[in-house]
Amino acid sequence: MAITTCIFDAYGTLFDVSAAAREAAEEPGNEALAKVWPALAADWRTKQLQYTWLRAVTGEHTDFWTVTQDGLDWALDKQGLLGDEALRERLLALYWELSAYPEVPAMLAALKEAGFSTAILSNGSPDMLDGAVQSAGIGDLLDDCLSVESVGIFKPADAVYDLVNKRFGCENEQVLFVSSNGWDASAACGYGFFTAWVNRAGEPMDRLGHPPHEMLTDLTTIPDIAKAI
C-alpha cells in the first residue's frame, strides 16, 4: 500500500535537543557550563529517555516535563552544577524554544505539497510540543501533534503507535514513521509501520529484532522515500 501519512518523533528528530545547553553555554555568566555543555546535554537526554522507559515499565506515568526536569537535575548534579538555580531555570526555559534542524521546514513543506498527511507522535506533553512547534514556525506544516499524554504511557508501548491509525484512519502499511531514536524506529517497525531512522550521530543499530527500513543522516530525503514506497 502506498504511503499516505508521515509521522515524526519530535525531540532529536525535528528539534535539536542539544540546542538548550549549547545556547545557554554561549551566554555571559555561564562559563562553567561552557566547559561541559556537550556532556551535560548528552546526559540530560539519556536520563530523560531512561526515566520514560522506567516509568512505562513500572506503571508510574508522569508527564514529559517532569522527566525532562528530573533528567536535567541528574545531569547538573553529575557536573557539580546542581546548586545553580539560575542556570537550571535558563536551561529549562530554552527547552521550550528548541530550534528545528535546518532541513525540517523545507522537508515538511515538500510532504504537504505532495499531499501527505504529516504529524508529530511524541512523548512530549501537549503544551511542550506546542511551544516547540510554534517556536520553530512549523505549525502550518503539520496536521496534528499526537502526545502520549492521551494514553498515559510512554513509547514504545503499542498504545502510543495506535494513536496514528485512530487519528488518520490509515493502515499500518500506509505510515512512514521517522525517528532519531533507533529503539523507537525499531519498535514502530515491529508494530507494522515503514520506518526511517535518522542516525545523525552515526551510532550502531540497536539489536531489537526489527531493523528500520531506512537509515539516514538527516531528513532531507524523506519526501523522496515517501513517494517511492
What residues act catalytically?
Answer: 9
Q: Where are the beta strands (DSSP E) in 115-158?
A: 117-122, 144-147
User: How many residues does the structure list for the chain?
Assistant: 229
Q: Does residue 105 have a cis peptide bond before it, meaning omega lies within 30 degrees of 0?
A: no
69 HSE (CA, 13 A, CB side): 8
Separation between Cα atoms, residue 225 and residue 215, nearest integer Å: 11
DSSP label at residue 155? T
Q: What are phi and psi of 4, to 5 degrees?
A: -120, -20
With beta carbons less than 8 A apart as the criterion, state whether 138 and 114 touch: no
Separation between Cα atoms, residue 156 and residue 153, nearest integer Å: 9
Q: What are phi and psi of 6, to 5 degrees?
A: -115, 120
Record the cell numbers describing residue 89, joined without a space: 531555570
What is the DSSP pairing of strand 5-8 with strand 117-122? Answer: parallel
